[in-house]
Amino acid sequence: LCSFLGLLYQEYRDKSTREEIETRRLQDSQTDPEETSSSEETPSEAEPTSTIENKALPQINLLRNSNSRFNLWQDLPEVQSSGVLSILQPDEIKLQEAMFELVTSEASYYKSLNLLVSHFMENERLKKILHQSEAHILFSNVLDVMAVSERFLLDLEQRVEENIVISDVCDIVYQHTVNHFSVYITYVSNQTYQERAYKQLLQDKPAFREVISQLELDPKCKGLSFSSFLILPFQRITRLKLLVQNILKKVEEKSDRESTALDAHKELETVVKACNEGVRKMSRTEQMISIQKKLEFKIKSVPIISHSRWLLKQGELQQMNGPKTSRTLRTKKLFREIYLFLFNDLLVICRQIPGDKYQVFDSAPRGLLRVEELEDQGQSLANVFILRLLENADDREASYMLKASSQSEMKRWMISLAPNRRTKFVSFTSRLVDCPQIQCVHPYVAQQPDELSLELADVLNILDKTDDGWIFGERLHDQERGWFPSSMGEEILNPKIRAQNLKECFRVHKSDDSQRRKLGSRNRQ
């Protein structure tokens, strides 16, 4: 099965995202984005798609053809020889390619999963080194994930073999997401423990380290690491959602295919969110326990650990001593260190004390925080802002004048402390016609809770930026927000391409919007 594919999933994913980046670069450099499609062959007299279904077209035994190395649907010999390319509209050819990519990428993914199981998990030497409980944490329910992928792939393969012109694939995606993809949530939720177990095994068991290194050197792995195989399921479920988005952008509006694509996308989004929540829940609980142990309360104690609470940002700031009026003073003792723990619903203000402990001297609900930037106050008051607690631990209003170490750090604190405050550029969710955009050309792993991890080819709206190289962005495909270094991306300069990106995004999320509106009116009632 799927031996027709030369690429492992990691290679496919890298190649595919690089192509996406290059395509967008090309479009962005042109004055008219529509020029990109002018090179495609347009038939002199295009027949409607329905006439194709009446023709007896050859089947594509795609997954059984081990000699095949084709990446594009239109490059398949069966498609080339059928004459179908001269009948189909260019838009339909693009849609066929989008559906075909979903199928071939699943085959590539299954191939990589198969290698993870047969080459690593079932290796006899590794089995002897690992205790059963260690193997369970390391490989989790990967056999269930592989079985689900195989069943999904067989259904996709059957659909492709029914007719050269693929009728649809999103109905199959929908069925499998609803009925089988919960195995991904289990696998991905285990990720925190999996990473920790892997690091521990590398550190504690030289024999494990040695076997893994030898297995990675096998030509079958194509120079890819063991850990790149372990993270495949999470990467795949996220990628699958993007592939369905790509189909959704190409189907006719108000058609049956649009309806099935929207349904499939909605269900995938639910699974991806549950995966993200699973990962966060595991790490958040441990983090909250760790913070609770470090806090000592000078004021009335606040219970920190709660199932609905998590850390958004923590760090040191300089607090200005004395009342606001003394801000003209230029003394060395003007500022003293304080330490903030900001949770999604609570701010805790502390001073660091010996023994890696923090003494809490004030707190406030996050909803009762306001921030205000100080401008043109001279060098000693650069990056200073005022934090107001409308109701602090003593049920009074309190103000703190705080200095950050840089402009980006100041802006990051201000946005985290008061998330509803207007940013420099308005979010796309306000339906703004144009907004600066950036595409990611280097992957980025978030280092702080207020940062956003980026994948290659992600497109984001720029909501704010700093002079010292940071951007606050909102990713178009999932509306996740966060900070990242500006060096990770390239700004999209062509306004038509930006508008096109937004239009596609609105279309993908239009079912979510109607759902949100219903929810909003219900909440108001």
Which residues, at least 6 apart from 448, have a Cβ–Cβ distance to it below 8 Å?
313, 483
Give the pLDDT score at 16: 87
Q: Where in the chain is the domain with CATH 2.30.29.30?
A: 298-323+333-417
What the block records as the tokens of 166 is 């693929």
What the block records as the tokens of 438 is 């950036």
Q: Where in the chain is the domain with CATH 1.20.900.10?
A: 1-8+70-290
pLDDT in tens, 178-221: 999 999 999 999 988 999 999 999 999 999 999 999 999 999 99
Contact 503, 250 (CB under 8 A): no
Give the pLDDT score at 503: 87
297, β-bridge pairs: 360
Q: Which amino acid is at 274?
A: A
What the block records as the tokens of 268 is 């995938």
Give the pLDDT score at 426: 59
Cα separation of 456 and 21, whole Å? 8
3-class DSSP state for residue 270? helix
Cα separation of 212 and 120, whole Å? 8
pLDDT in tens, 44-80: 333 333 333 333 444 444 444 434 445 789 988 999 9
3-class DSSP state for residue 385? strand
Give the pLDDT score at 374: 80
Give the pLDDT score at 41: 37
Q: Which amino acid is at 360?
A: V
Domain 429-516, CATH: 2.30.30.40
pTM above 0.85? no
Contact 417, 347 (CB under 8 A): yes
**Of the options 1.20.900.10, 3.40.50.2300, 1.10.1060.10, 1.10.760.10, the CATH number for the domain spanning 1-8+70-290:** 1.20.900.10
Give the pLDDT score at 53: 39
Give, in words, the CATH class of 298-323+333-417: mainly beta
3-class DSSP state for residue 443? coil
- The string over 255-269, giving b where at least 16 C-beta atoms fall within 10 Å of a residue's C-beta and e elsewhere, is eebbebbbbbbbbbb
Contact 250, 95 (CB under 8 A): yes
Nearest CA to 173 among 251, 253, 269, 277? 269
What the block records as the tokens of 451 is 């940062």
Q: Which amino acid is at 352?
A: Q
**Weakly modelled stretches of the chain, pLDDT under 70:** 1-6, 31-70, 322-333, 376-380, 421-433, 510-525
Q: Where in the chain is the domain with CATH 2.30.30.40?
A: 429-516
3-class DSSP state for residue 404? coil
